């Protein structure tokens, strides 16, 4: 059921702490980023994020901007990746395709809308 709630756009305050939607799906996004960027660049992005937001809050938009700044030649691809993984809720059977279609495996070849 974690596909039903978009982590960056939960439908209600009660959904903010939905363990599956927020934490599992969020972890999947981080792992996807690591696979796409590579270990070294991923660690660098995460270090920059933590350094820039030490003892403070950051927004999803700021995080996405940081990733795009680290990989500017694929900014449009990152926009689509985060749209599918963070901003889109999916209903129905994931086996039937009701989940993000852009993955680390097809990140560079996925046909952008």
Average pLDDT over residues 51-71: 97
* Residues 6+ away with beta carbon under 8 Å from 42: 33, 34
The residue with greater pLDDT, 24 or 17, is: 24
Average pLDDT over residues 1-28: 87
Residue 112, burial from CB neighbour count under 10 angstroms (0-12, 13-18, 19+): exposed
Average pLDDT over residues 16-27: 85
Read off the pLDDT band of 46 (50, 70, 90): very high
Tens-place pLDDT, residues 91-109: 999 999 999 999 999 999 9
Identify the DSSP state of 44.
H
CA 110 – CA 113 distance, rounded (Å): 9
pLDDT at 91: 93
Average pLDDT over residues 31-53: 98
Q: Is the pLDDT of residue 68 over 90?
A: yes
Give whole-number Cα distances, 81 to 37, 48, 67, in Å: 13, 20, 11
Q: Is the pLDDT of residue 19 over 80?
A: no
Q: Is the pLDDT of residue 18 over 80?
A: no
């Amino acid at each position: 059921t974690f596909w039903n709630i978009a982590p960056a756009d939960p439908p209600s305050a009660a959904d903010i702490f939905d363990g599956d939607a927020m934490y599992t799906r969020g972890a999947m996004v981080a792992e996807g980023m690591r696979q796409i960027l590579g270990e070294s660049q991923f660690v660098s992005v995460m270090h920059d994020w933590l350094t820039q937001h030490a003892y403070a809050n950051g927004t999803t938009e700021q995080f996405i901007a940081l990733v795009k700044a680290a990989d500017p030649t694929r900014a449009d691809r990152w926009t689509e990746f985060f749209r599918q993984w963070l901003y889109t809720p999916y209903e129905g059977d994931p086996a039937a395709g009701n989940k993000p279609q852009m993955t680390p495996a097809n990140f560079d070849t996925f046909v952008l809308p």
